[in-house]
Amino acid sequence: MPPHAPSPPSDWVRRWCADLPSGRALDLACGSGRHLRWLAARGWRVTGVDRDGQALHGLAGLGELIEADIEQGPWPLEGRQFDLVVVTHYLWRPLLPSILSALAPGGRLVYETFATGHERLGRPSRADFLLQPGELLRACQELQILGYETGQLSAPERVLQRITAQRDSAVHRLPGWTVASGG
C-alpha cells in the first residue's frame, strides 16, 4: 500500500454493511474516512464527524463533514437520525446514549473498538478507552443484536469488542438465519 493511502474498511464493517440498501450513514470519529469512502462508493449519503479538521479536509466533496470535539463540546447531531451508524476505534462512554439516539427506526449500529486486554499489546492502554467485558451488549440491550464478537485478533494483534445491532423490529435476516421471538 502506498504511503498515506487510506486504510481498508474494517472487516466487521464490510461484513455487516455490504448487503444493506444505501441510505443515510454516520461515521463517528471518522478520522481519515476509510469507512466514509467505502460507504459513499456504495451509494450512501455520508456524514462524518471528527475533531481533526485536517483529516476532514482530505474528505472534501465526499459528503457532509462536521468538525467537532464531541467529548468537550455539544453533540452536533441533536435530533438527527441515520439508517447506519458506524463507530470504530473510538470510545467515549458519555456519548453512548447520543450514539444510540442517532439510529433511525430500523437503523443499524456497527461498532468496533478496543477492549480490556488490549493494554498489554499497545495503545490505547488506559481503562477509560477500553471496553469492559460485555459492555457493548449492555449498552445495546434495547436493540436487536445481530452479531457480537469479543477477543484477541492478529494481523495486527489487538483485543476488540464489536457489535452489530438494529433498532426496532426491522431486522435484516442473513440467509440461513432465523430470529426467535420471545413469548
53-110 confidence digits (pLDDT tens): 999 998 999 999 999 999 999 999 999 999 999 999 898 889 999 999 999 999 999 9
CA distance 168 to 146: 12
Instruction: Kindly indicate the confidence band of residue 179, based on its pLDDT and cuts at 50, 70 and 90.
Output: very low
Distances (CA, A) of 5 to 1, 2, 50, 57, 157: 7, 6, 19, 15, 21
* pLDDT for residue 120: 64
Domains annotated for the chain, with CATH where assigned, are 11-166 (3.40.50.150)
Torsions phi, psi for 111 (to 5 deg): -130, 135
pTM: predicted TM-score of the whole model, two decimal places? 0.84
Torsions phi, psi for 149 (to 5 deg): -140, 150
142-152 confidence digits (pLDDT tens): 999 999 988 77
